[in-house]
Chains A and B, each alone.
Chain A
Amino acid sequence: MEAIQVDGLRKSYADFEAVREISFSVAKGEIFALLGRNGAGKSTTMEILAGFQRPDGGTVRVLGLDPVKDRAKVRKSIGIMLQEAGFFPDLTVAQTVDSWREFVPVARPRAEALELVGLTGKAGTKVRQLSGGEKRRLDLALATLGRPDLLFLDEPTTGMDPEARKATWDVVTDLAARGTTVLLTTHYLEEAQRLATTMAIMDKGAIVASGGMAETLAAQTGRVAFELPSGVEARDLPVDVTAVEGTTVVCRVPDPDVAAQTLLGWAGERGLRLRGLEVRTATLEDLFLDLASKEKA
């Protein structure tokens, strides 16, 4: 059974279509990334899955149940880290966790919850004195208090410093390794690429690309970049040039390894060096930029 099954989901606010007939599924134990720019419809989709909003059309199943009609059953098995939600500012971190522990039947001990997200040293600090990143970590601690089967993470690392972000990634990876299904929305492409095994990219409420992370990226063009040797024109090169950025030549090619070998052979025959040579397969950023350029075209 899939942990999440979405078919033809639609949601509008007045005349604005936030989600347009999207379909996807998330297998149990998988980390699924829902990507897109601000306003793409990611958070609306997540809020419908979490049972906060009713869909206008389509069907949604979370752990085999309707998240609105069966919310009482669904809520016991899910954890939610919202993109935006308030805290009681005058409670300390420890008091907040203790209060929330009363809401969960079998909650993690407070010490374990705080250690999980690296907030042990902040236990006595009032929530109003926490940084944005620390509040996100507290949010994650609350979302994972009940050891949920399915975890919704809406922009989980926004506002975190690089160290905290990496620590959060480790927490999410560890939870998934223990069998927790994770649905993640983020606009940090590195985060999605690092964590997720499958993904869908949303744009203007619709899914414009989806599938396994590795396969989807492999299907995209790779990138070869280097400094143009002096006395050489871009048109003289043996591969098609996509762009010249200052003195750097960028080639978008289906197989970047083959293109790099061709270029090195060509340069060797002429006694030239390709300084700053960079060869890489497609990244999510490339995929995003491709989608954006297709949209403009």
Chain B
Amino acid sequence: MTTVRETLAVARLGGRIYWRDKQALTATVLTSVGLGIGLPVMMDRLRPGETSVIVAQLLGMLAVSLTLSGFNQSAVSLTARRDQLILKRLRASGLGDGAVLGGELLNIMAQSVLIALVTTVAVVNLTSATAPRDPVLFTVFVVLGAAVITSLGAAWTVVIPRAEVAAPLSIPFFMIAGLGAGAFGPMNQLLPGWLSTVLDLLPTAAVVKVGGATFADGTFAGDLQAAVVPLLNLSVWAAIALLVISRRFRWEPRRS
């Protein structure tokens, strides 16, 4: 119970800081929401009535958005707090390590989910796309995906030597996630088969796959069946993230 209370306290503090951070707001919130809403709306104007294309564009942009606001934000923010010795101060406050890191990740994940849901609601309202047939399953996978992707961002900090290079070292991932999810148009159809298979293994692909099922015609049983492999995918990535964090996460900058 104490750990939950501490984790929520850290998450609340993180949220307060997040919405004051102009860099996070422009690089993450504005970019994610702007592109996430803008491109599907543009597609709706260019190809009116082609709902499946608009939904594909939306899901592709959700992959980009989750990577930007989850993975990148987690890697950049945690590296900065590590280098500024803020993580060290939080640990000195008497909080458990799990509460400090869990609270930081919970906050970033919550912002990431919020951005994804706001984007989805806006696109559904501004275009000819209809709302997902199964909004609960869609939301569950957005939340699970955000949790795993955010944790992977924390794991990625182990290879980031200092805060200045955190953003450039994290940017390629949103490009890769977007490419695999079709955010940049049907470019993924030009890729060799093996590369498409690799891109399908990304955690963002799991969210896109279940998201696609919930937007398409079908049944709840069919949705659950479609969710099994993506759930396995997310579980494997979650295990990788937790393993790296538990063994290699650095709370302080290198001394030499």
Interface residues on A, range: 20 to 34
For residue A14, which residues in chain B have a CB less than 8 angstroms away from its CB? Answer: 256
Q: Report if A99 contacts B (CB, 8 A).
A: yes
For residue B16, which residues in chain A have a CB less than 8 angstroms away from its CB? Answer: 91, 95, 99
For residue A76, which residues in chain B have a CB less than 8 angstroms away from its CB? Answer: 94
Main SS class of interface, A: loop
Q: Report if A295 contacts B (CB, 8 A).
A: no
Q: Which of B68-99 contact A (CB under 8 A)?
A: 81, 84-86, 88-97
Known contacts A86-B86, A87-B86, A87-B89; is A102 also within 8 Å of B96 by CB? Answer: no
CA gap between A79 and B94 in the complex, in Å: 7
CA gap between A100 and B95 in the complex, in Å: 10
Interface size on B, residues (CB 8 A): 28
Known contacts A84-B85, A102-B13, A103-B6; is A50 also within 8 Å of B92 by CB? Answer: yes
Would you give the shortest CB distance from B2 to chain A, in whole angstroms? 8
For residue B247, which residues in chain A have a CB less than 8 angstroms away from its CB? Answer: none
Would you give the shortest CB distance from B145 to chain A, in whole angstroms? 29
Q: Report if A88 contacts B (CB, 8 A).
A: yes
Known contacts A13-B255, A90-B17, A102-B13; is A82 also within 8 Å of B88 by CB? Answer: yes
B 28-56 to A, binary, CB cutoff 8 A, 1 in contact else 0: 00000000000000000000000000000
**B92 and A85 contacting across the interface, CB-CB below 8 Å:** yes
CA gap between A102 and B85 in the complex, in Å: 20
Would you give the shortest CB distance from A84 to chain B, in whole angstroms? 6
A 162-189 to B, binary, CB cutoff 8 A, 1 in contact else 0: 0000000000000000000000000000
**B92 and A102 contacting across the interface, CB-CB below 8 Å:** no
Residue of A nearest to B87 (CB): A86
Would you give the shortest CB distance from A51 to chain B, in whole angstroms? 9
CA gap between A198 and B93 in the complex, in Å: 27
**A13 and B256 contacting across the interface, CB-CB below 8 Å:** yes
CA gap between A82 and B94 in the complex, in Å: 13
For residue A86, which residues in chain B have a CB less than 8 angstroms away from its CB? Answer: 81, 84-86, 88-89
Q: Which of A73-104 contact B (CB under 8 A)?
A: 75-76, 78-80, 82, 84-88, 90-91, 95, 99-100, 102-104
Partner of B86, one of A80, A88, A102, A103: A88
For residue A71, which residues in chain B have a CB less than 8 angstroms away from its CB? Answer: 96-97
Partner of A103, one of B17, B85, B94, B252: B94
For residue A91, which residues in chain B have a CB less than 8 angstroms away from its CB? Answer: 16-17
For residue B255, which residues in chain A have a CB less than 8 angstroms away from its CB? Answer: 13
For residue A102, which residues in chain B have a CB less than 8 angstroms away from its CB? Answer: 9, 12-13
Q: Which of B230-256 contact A (CB under 8 A)?
A: 251-252, 255-256
For residue A85, which residues in chain B have a CB less than 8 angstroms away from its CB? Answer: 85-86, 88-89, 92
For residue B13, which residues in chain A have a CB less than 8 angstroms away from its CB? Answer: 88, 99, 102
Would you give the shortest CB distance from A85 to chain B, in whole angstroms? 4
CA gap between A146 and B92 in the complex, in Å: 12
**B96 and A103 contacting across the interface, CB-CB below 8 Å:** no
B 9-29 to A, binary, CB cutoff 8 A, 1 in contact else 0: 110110011001100000000
**A80 and B96 contacting across the interface, CB-CB below 8 Å:** no
Residue of B nearest to A88 (CB): B17
Residue of B nearest to A16 (CB): B256
**A90 and B85 contacting across the interface, CB-CB below 8 Å:** no
Residue of B nearest to A146 (CB): B94
Would you give the shortest CB distance from B160 to chain A, in whole angstroms? 17
CA gap between A99 and B252 in the complex, in Å: 21
A 108-140 to B, binary, CB cutoff 8 A, 1 in contact else 0: 000000000000000000000000000000000
Would you give the shortest CB distance from B60 to chain A, in whole angstroms? 35
Q: Count chain B CB atoms within 10 A of each CB in A79, A86, A146 and give the residue with the most.
A: A86
**A104 and B86 contacting across the interface, CB-CB below 8 Å:** no
Would you give the shortest CB distance from A42 to chain B, in whole angstroms? 15
Would you give the shortest CB distance from A139 to chain B, in whole angstroms? 8
Would you give the shortest CB distance from B118 to chain A, in whole angstroms? 24
Which 9 residue pairs spanning A and B have beta carbons closest together?
A: A86-B84, A85-B89, A102-B9, A80-B92, A86-B85, A86-B86, A75-B94, A85-B85, A103-B93
Chain B interface residues (CB < 8 Å from chain A): 2, 6, 9-10, 12-13, 16-17, 20-21, 81, 84-86, 88-97, 251-252, 255-256
16 further A-B pairs in the complex, CB-CB below 8 A; given A86-B84, A88-B17: A52-B251, A71-B96, A71-B97, A75-B96, A79-B94, A85-B88, A85-B92, A86-B81, A90-B21, A91-B16, A103-B9, A103-B93, A103-B95, A142-B89, A143-B92, A146-B94
Chain A interface residues (CB < 8 Å from chain B): 13-14, 50, 52, 71-72, 75-76, 78-80, 82, 84-88, 90-91, 95, 99-100, 102-105, 142-143, 146
9 chain-A/chain-B pairs, Cβ below 8 angstroms = A52-B88, A52-B252, A78-B94, A86-B85, A86-B88, A100-B93, A102-B12, A104-B94, A143-B92
